[in-house]
Structure 1
Amino acid sequence: MAQDTHNFIQNYTGLGAFGMDRKTDQETIMFYLQKFSEDRFMAKFIPRLDQDELQEIYIFINKMLKQHLSENEYHNLFLKDR
């Protein structure tokens, strides 16, 4: 059974604009990240990135995870391995 979900994007009716207010900014980031991680899109996009771009994305994501999640949250919420 699949553990990952992308339910937010299925029901989102907000603006999808950044810079208006905190709530809209958060929703827009959720929208973008869920659209960004869609399998068909990733299959086209990832091969077009050079090695430096791949590393930049990896470093940024890991930095944010370490900065904003505890070790338990990282394993439970992100990796889903506990």
Structure 2
Amino acid sequence: MFFGLNRTTDEQSLITFLHQFSDDRLTRELVPRMSEAEIHQVVDLLTLIMRNHLSSDEYHRLFLGEEHHHH
């Protein structure tokens, strides 16, 4: 993973970083050590990013894994 070289490399590095960060072994160890404030910061940031860049349908399909979303 390399950051700061160019946009394409940053995007690919972020994808790799997020995959590694969400590994079950890591999250089982890391999450219990996080403070309530840290947990809320992570959730708030990721929610904000999704809200800024995904439509409601994309959110339901891609994040929640729902095939059909009804408004």
TM over 0.5: yes
Report the secondary structure of 1:41's partner residue.
helix
Structure 1 residues not aligned, in runs of 5+ = 1-15
Figure out how many residues of one structure are paired with residues of the other and give that number: 67
Identity of matched residues, %:
33
Q: Distance in 1 between matches of 2:62 and 2:32?
A: 27
Give the alignment's Cα RMSD to 1 decimal: 0.5
Residue 68 of structure 1 aligns with an amino acid whose one-letter code is H
Q: What does 1:27-66 correspond to in 2, within 5 Å? A: 27-66=12-51
Q: Distance in 1 between matches of 2:41 and 2:26?
A: 19
In the superposition, the TM-score normalised over structure 2's length comes to: 0.92
**Runs of 4+ that moved beyond 2 A:** none
Structure 2 residues not aligned, in runs of 5+ = none
> Of the two structures, which has the highest relative contact order with CA contacts closer than 8 Å and spacing of 6 or more?
1
